[in-house]
Structure 1
Amino acid sequence: MPTLADRHDALLLDLDGTVYLGGQVIEHVGSVIEATNARGIRSMYVTNNASRPPAEVAEALTAMGVPAAADDVLTSPEAAATMLQQAHPAGARVLVVGALWLVESVRQAGLAPVELVTDEPVAVVQGHSPTTGWPQLAEACLALRAGADWVACNNDTTLPTDRGLLPGNGSMVAALVAATGLQPRVAGKPERPLLDEAVARAGSSRPLVVGDRLDTDIAGAVKAGMPSLMVLTGVNTAADLLAAPPERRPTHVAFDLRGVLDADRVRSLTDTQEPEPHSWRVTVSDTALELSSADSRTGDDLSDGAALAALAALVRQGWASEVTEVRAADDTAAAALRRCGLAA
């Protein structure tokens, strides 16, 4: 049975929740990427993070045991700078609200970064920086009210940190939306410019988007018309997957990144003809999806493939019926639900 690695020539990988979590590499990620790189499959690390340059990200990944060079990392400031470069002539002045990497990205795109509205900028670009305050937002507000173009690196309202979720760039963007009544063009996921640039940089014709978040990684893939793999290693869960609206539905699901190389560790959510390693039946009522098994194996005997087959069967029926509650008809089904993190 062909693997995802057989079908794709590039992996567009999210970072937090997909490659690492809490500053630690997720198990199996390094070995999978080494194996796919050896097969000529390009790994591109595609991140909404607007504060760290690619070389710094690549260095951190390498220190974790994940193969990465600076050219393998694409950040939202680079995509935002490309959007500005395409819309404005060389040397055009751009008011930058963000970190030093955003300033440098604008400069590398042949544009002139400025800080004040009196510099007569033709555009405003906005990315996350922990030092952004009222004075910077005020300058941007005046420039936007004067008719400047507006590009946001991303619209993430929160930023995950070791202290918890803190205000992200989207929260700062929302302040300017409230002050101006305008809306920016957005470079990062779930909008498609970042993914489109990653495909171009990788020289890919068969990319696969890999991520843990339905609202950014998977929604971005859907908007870009690219197949996607949701890994259950980060933010979103199997229960979230069951309730996902059409614009946030992945093509495949796996417990972790091993699903790229091992056909038994991944399941298609769109291919109803895919061979299954286990016989499951899902009965739909008005209130619940009931999972039953034709096999008497215990939970300890269930492979990842069998558990994922149960999840895929539930998801397909859930998406068709819009029923998201689940229950088990037998002990084997109950074991599969537990393995998937689904409360019966």
Structure 2
Amino acid sequence: MSGRLVDSYDLVAFDLDGVVYLIDRPIPGAVEAISALHAEGTALAYATNNASRRAADVAGLLTGMGVPAQPKEVLTSAGAAAAMLADELPAGSRVLVVGAEALRAEVREAGLVPVSTVDEQPVAVVQGYGPEVGWQVLAEASLAVRAGARWYATNTDKTLPSPRGPLPGNGSLVAVLRTALGREPDVVVGKPEPALFTTAAKLAGAQRPLVVGDRLDTDIEGAVRAGMDSLLVLTGVSGPAELLAAPASRRPTHVAADLAGLFAAEESVRVPASGEHGGWRLTAEGVLEGEGDPVAALRLAVGATWDGLAPAALRAGSPAAQAVLADWNLE
């Protein structure tokens, strides 16, 4: 039997929304899992595409939930975008900011001047998530880009997980400008670009980091691009149906229901599984038989679908399997 999953890595880099919390509510079991890692001395990092909070604010939110996080452990797409702007633009350059005050503060701290209108002649536009973003600032950004400003997006997550269900994310706001301008942003800073993860590993001096996320299109693809192993947890955006159809660029190394999977035996959470796994068996014809943990059934099923079997071709060979496939919207 293999050791615990977490014992194979020297850094655990967490996404936040959908992994640790939903907006501002901790996901059940997340605080206990991360606190246990802290107690064991495991190196941790938090890499989030959400540009509406600064690193210190994120650390404060986590600490308030019972996770003793430090600002230096937090990497945000807002901070990364501001650092990139500072590298590419002369000090004092005007940057039109679309997003929350946190993004404006990061731009200002980077030695640039945040502005709000095209009349202030910005040389760049940086766009990040903000719950108050509306038509007026999007219109100013559109005019600025048309006038020649370089367009940076902190991230392109289409949705943001919440306790009430997925909400429009920064990618949906980026899509407004994409439609108006008829083109893509010049630069996308956050995941799935690998910079947040590679920076976290560099700061920690890690040689074997593990990325933990809830989205295949950002967290897991970002880990693949960074050459890092990953754990997909099913507490946020991506679910079984998306995982079954995932292309090679978005396939995690491990899958678990939640962060408790970090403490499971590594071989028990690795994907794809084969043969008999967790009380289930999948035949060569794609018939799922047996009963047990639904996530164990999912690990078996991805082995078949990633090898070319259409997800819709999976069939139930037991009542428990029928219930699982129905939950995956396949029956």
Q: Look up the match of 1:261.
A: 263
| Correspondences of 1:261-300 after superposition (within 5 Å) | 261-263=263-265, 266-269=268-271, 281-285=281-285, 289-292=286-289, 299=291
The C-alpha deviation readout for 1:228-270, integer Å capped at 9, x for no partner, is 1011222322333212222221111112212212217842115
Aligned counterparts of 1:64 and 1:340: Cα–Cα separation in 2? 35
**Secondary structure, aligned partner of 1:33:** helix
Q: Look up the match of 1:213.
A: 215
Opposite residue 305 of structure 2, the aligned amino acid is: G
Aligned counterparts of 1:337 and 1:75: Cα–Cα separation in 2? 39
**Secondary structure, aligned partner of 2:283:** strand
Aligned counterparts of 2:109 and 2:273: Cα–Cα separation in 1? 44
Q: Look up the match of 2:235.
A: 233
Q: Look up the match of 2:302.
A: 315
**Secondary structure, aligned partner of 2:228:** coil
Normalization by structure 2: what TM-score?
Answer: 0.86
Matched, 1:189 2:191: yes
Cα distance change, pair 315–187 in 1 and its aligned pair in 2 (3 A): same
Cα distance change, pair 119–68 in 1 and its aligned pair in 2 (3 A): same
The C-alpha deviation readout for 1:82-129, integer Å capped at 9, x for no partner, is 221222233322221221110111122222222233333221111122
**Contact between 1:255 and 1:266, CA under 8 Å: does it hold in 2?**
no
Aligned counterparts of 1:232 and 1:340: Cα–Cα separation in 2? 17
Match of 2:246 among 244, 247, 255: 244
**Contact between 1:158 and 1:168, CA under 8 Å: does it hold in 2?**
yes
Cα distance change, pair 181–200 in 1 and its aligned pair in 2 (3 A): farther
Opposite residue 260 of structure 2, the aligned amino acid is: R
Aligned counterparts of 1:166 and 1:256: Cα–Cα separation in 2? 21
Q: Look up the match of 1:82.
A: 83
Cα distance change, pair 112–200 in 1 and its aligned pair in 2 (3 A): farther
**Contact between 1:276 and 1:309, CA under 8 Å: does it hold in 2?**
no
Opposite residue 258 of structure 1, the aligned amino acid is: A
The C-alpha deviation readout for 1:120-165, integer Å capped at 9, x for no partner, is 3221111122333333223222321232221111112334445654
**Secondary structure, aligned partner of 1:241:** helix
- The unaligned stretches of length 5 or more in structure 2 are none
Aligned counterparts of 1:310 and 1:160: Cα–Cα separation in 2? 25
Q: Look up the match of 1:296.
A: none
Matched, 1:14 2:35: no
**Secondary structure, aligned partner of 1:233:** coil
Q: Look up the match of 1:176.
A: 177
| CA apart distance, 1:166 | 4.0
Percent of residue pairs identical:
51
Aligned counterparts of 2:257 and 2:208: Cα–Cα separation in 1? 22
**Secondary structure, aligned partner of 1:12:** strand
Aligned counterparts of 2:256 and 2:322: Cα–Cα separation in 1? 14
Opposite residue 208 of structure 2, the aligned amino acid is: R
Count how many residue pairs are aligned between Structure 1 and Structure 2: 327
Cα distance change, pair 122–196 in 1 and its aligned pair in 2 (3 A): farther
Cα distance change, pair 271–86 in 1 and its aligned pair in 2 (3 A): farther
**Contact between 1:10 and 1:43, CA under 8 Å: does it hold in 2?**
yes
The C-alpha deviation readout for 1:154-212, integer Å capped at 9, x for no partner, is 11233444565443322222222223233211112223233333333333222111112
**Secondary structure, aligned partner of 2:212:** strand
| CA apart distance, 1:277 | 6.2
- The unaligned stretches of length 5 or more in structure 1 are 294-298
Aligned counterparts of 1:220 and 1:337: Cα–Cα separation in 2? 33
